[in-house]
A and B are shown apart, each in its own frame.
Chain A
Amino acid sequence: MRFLCVYKPSKPEGTPPSETEMMEMGKLISDMTNEGVLLATEGCLPSALGARVRKSGDDFKVTDGPFTEAKEVVGGFALIEVRSKQEAIEQTRRFLKVAGDGECEIRQICEVPSMQLA
Chain B
Amino acid sequence: MTATDVHRTIEAVWKIESARLIAGLARRVRDVGLAEDLAQEALVAAFEQWPRTGIPDNPAAWLMTTAKRRAIDMFRRNRRVEEKHGELARDAEELQERAVAELDAAMDDDIGDDLLRLVFTACHPVLKQDAQVALTLRMLGGLTTDEIARAYLVPEATVAQRIVRAKRTLTKEQVPFEVPKGKELRARLTAVLEVIYLIFNEGYSATAGDDWMRPALCEDALRLGRVVAELMPQEPEVHGLAALMEIQASRLRARTSASGEPILLLDQRRALWDRLLIQRGLAALDRVEKLGGADGVYALQAAIAACHARALEAEETDWAQIAGLYARLFEVMPSPVVELNRAVALSMAFGPEMGLVVVDALVREGTLANYHLLPTVRGDLLVKLGRDDEARMEFERAASLTRNAREQELLIKRAQKCSASKN
Residues of A in contact with B (beta carbons under 8 Å apart):
1, 33-37, 39-40, 79, 81, 83-84, 86-87, 89-91, 111-115, 117-118
Contacts and interface: CB of A to CB of B under 8 A. Distances in A.
Q: Give the interface SS of chain B, mostly helix, strand, loop or mixed.
A: helix
A35 B16 CA distance: 9
A77 B103 CA distance: 29
Interface of B: 8-9, 11-13, 15-16, 112, 150-151, 211-217, 219-220, 222-227, 230-231, 252-253, 255-256, 258, 260, 272, 276, 280
Contacts of B211: 114, 117
A91 B226 contact: no
Given A34-B226, A36-B224, A114-B213, A83 B15 contact: yes
A83 B214 CA distance: 13
B12 A87 contact: yes
A86 B9 CA distance: 6
Given A35-B227, A36-B222, A115-B252, A90 B215 contact: no
Q: Give the interface SS of chain A, mostly helix, strand, loop or mixed.
A: mixed
A90 B230 CA distance: 22
> Which 6 A-B pairs have CB atoms at the shortest separation, nearest pair first?
A118-B216, A36-B226, A36-B223, A86-B12, A34-B230, A87-B12
Contacts of B150: 118
8 contacts: A1-B219, A33-B230, A35-B16, A84-B12, A87-B16, A114-B253, A114-B260, A118-B217
A94 to B, nearest CB: 8
A49 to B, nearest CB: 25
A33 B112 CA distance: 13
Nearest to B55: A93
A34 B258 CA distance: 33
A86 B227 contact: no
Nearest to A94: B16
B280 A86 contact: no
Contacts of B213: 114
